[in-house]
Structure formats: C-alpha cells, structure tokens
Amino acid sequence: MIRINLLPHREEKRKARRKQFYVLLGLVSVLAALIWFLGFSLINRQITQQNDANEFLKREIASLDKEIDEIKKIQDQTNALLSRKRVIEALQANRTETVHLFNELAKQVPEGIYLRNLTQTGQRIAITGYAQSNARITTLMNNLDESPLLEGSTLVETKAELVGGRRLNAFSITTMISRQTVAPGKK
C-alpha cells in the first residue's frame, strides 16, 4: 500500500483557515467600527438638531414673554383709563346734584323754618336751623323723607333758644342723598 503523508496538506489547510479567520475578524472589526461610527454620527446629528430646535424655542419663548409683558402693561394702562373714566362718569352724573339738592330743599322746607347751616359729607347732609315749633321740625323731616332725592332723615338735637328776642327751637337733622344712577346712553 502506498502511504500518503497528509500532514503538510492539513497544515496548509490550517494556515488557510487561520488566515481566513483573521481576514474575517478584520472585516468584522472594520464593519463594527463602521457601524459604530455611523451610529455615533447619526446620534450626534440628532442631538445637534435637537439643541438647535431647543435654542429656537428658547428665543421664541423669550420674544413671547416680552410680548406678554407688553400686553400686561397695556392692560394695566387700560384698567387705569377705565377707572378714570368711571370716576369722570360718576362726577358727570352727580355734577348737578347740588343744584337739585337746593331746589329740593326749597320745595320741602315748610314755612316757619329757617336754615342756618347745611353741610354735605359724601352722601350725608347735616342741616341746622331754627323752627317756630317742634311740629314744623316734624313736618320738615316728613317732607325730607318723602322727597325723591333725600332719605333717612334723623333728628339729632332740638332745643329752645332766644334769637333776637324771640323764642325759637334750634334743631339739627341728618339726612342722606339717594344717588340717582344715570343709565348708560341717557342724559
């Protein structure tokens, strides 16, 4: 029988497989490095895009905050103007109040009553004067209560005094003005 020595052949095959293994190992390493580089680049690009988007949003939020501050300032100015307008309207509505008050007092004061002092504090009016009798003071208070402009008359004090040699009753009355509100659009 012929003897064939297969050892060199096997040795060559082993060397070829080892060489093939190292080549494949190098290719897999290069491929892994390429995949890692592509993944890193892709993630880095996405992070950069997100950071740019965040910066854009921050700039837009800052500009909107400025606009909101301007709107608040404008609203404050509008509220201040509206409150001034309301005050002016209230003054305008009540500017003839004194004229109406004196006109009403002239109508409601009965004969035999002499007014000495009239003081208005807000809606409260203090009236002092002299009357020929207590009945005339009562008539004055009833007339003031029936008046559409005045309400809530209260007698504070009454006392007898000598004025110019005549005996008169000095009195002090408080009453309230009932504010007439003017409907918008009417004068």
- For the chain, the distance separating the N- and C-terminal CA atoms, rounded to the nearest angstrom, is 140
What is the per-residue pLDDT for 185?
Answer: 46
What is the per-residue pLDDT for 95?
Answer: 75
Q: How confident is the model at residue 161 (pLDDT cuts 50, 70, 90)?
A: confident
Cβ neighbour number for residue 177 with a 10 Å cutoff: 21
Residue 130 near residue 168, CB atoms below 8 Å: yes
What is the per-residue pLDDT for 60?
Answer: 96
Percent of the chain with pLDDT over 70: 93
Q: How confident is the model at residue 64 (pLDDT cuts 50, 70, 90)?
A: very high
**Within 13 Å of residue 102, how many CA atoms lie on the same side as its CB?**
5
Residue 130 near residue 116, CB atoms below 8 Å: yes
Is pLDDT above 50 for 99? yes
> Encoding tokens for residue 43?
């993630």
Quick: pLDDT tens for 15-32.
Answer: 999 999 999 999 999 999
Q: How confident is the model at residue 6 (pLDDT cuts 50, 70, 90)?
A: low
Please choose, from the candidates 161, 73, 85, the residue with its C-alpha nearest in 3D space to the C-alpha of residue 116.
161
CA distance 100 to 96: 6
Average pLDDT, the chain: 85
User: In terms of pTM, does the model score above 0.95?
Assistant: no
Quick: pLDDT tens for 142-157.
Answer: 888 888 878 887 788 8
Is pLDDT above 80 for 183? no
**What is the mean pLDDT of the segment spanning 11-15?**
88
CA distance 115 to 173: 11
Give the ranges where 95-125 is alpha helix by DSSP (H): 97-108
> Encoding tokens for residue 183?
């409907």
DSSP string for 156-183: EEEEEEEETTEEEEEEEEEEEE-PPPPP
